[in-house]
Amino acid sequence: MIVVIGMDPGPTPGMVRLTYSDARLVDMAVVQCTANTALDVLQMWLITLPRAAAETYFGVEQYVDRQRGRSGTAGARTRDLVGSAMVLAQTHGAHPVQRPAVTVKAWATDVRLNAAGLLPSVKGMTHAKDGARHALYAACKDALIPDPLSRKAKRDG
């Protein structure tokens, strides 16, 4: 089993946990919460991993301070959330990686999310949808799960 967690940080974080067995999605959990509870949810997900989980990956949006060093309260909280989440994931044996939103969103389109079967579960939750984008990107790029739009995924699915 492979577990992949994706997070869209910020004042309203969105997180998605995908569990794969033999490259097939077998479980999905979705949370859109407050910044105060995001680390608690992440820790719960990490400590309750299936025993059969061989690898765990954690993909999170890279924080970029767009105000040239004048990060406000929301920016500082987001930056701290990303840093704490990265440490927490690594502490629990996950492979953490930060990626720019533009990179992930350009690849993990709604079409790709739908092909992976993720879109209905995040309907109406913008931040959870972005967390799903990070999870799917990490699943395919880091955990080597087949791209849901690839011929291999269509043939095996």
Q: Set out the domains of the chain in order of their start, with CATH numbers.
A: 2-156 (3.30.420.10)
Task: Please write the tens of the pLDDT for every residue from 4-24.
Answer: 999 999 999 999 999 999 999
Q: Please tell me the predicted confidence (pLDDT) of residue 15.
A: 98
What is the per-residue pLDDT across 34-52, written as a single tens digit (0 to 9) for each?
999 999 999 999 998 877 7
- CA-angle at 67, arms to 124 and 138, nearest 5°: 45
Sheet holding 2-8, edge to edge: 24-32, 14-21, 2-8, 55-61, 95-99
pLDDT at 115: 96
pLDDT value for 152: 66
Predicted local confidence at residue 69, as pLDDT:
53
* Average pLDDT score over residue span 105-112: 97
Global confidence as pTM: 0.91
Whether 144 has a pLDDT exceeding 80, the answer reads: yes
Q: Which of 37, 38, 49, 41 is nearest to 9 (CA)?
A: 38
Identify the pLDDT of residue 101: 94
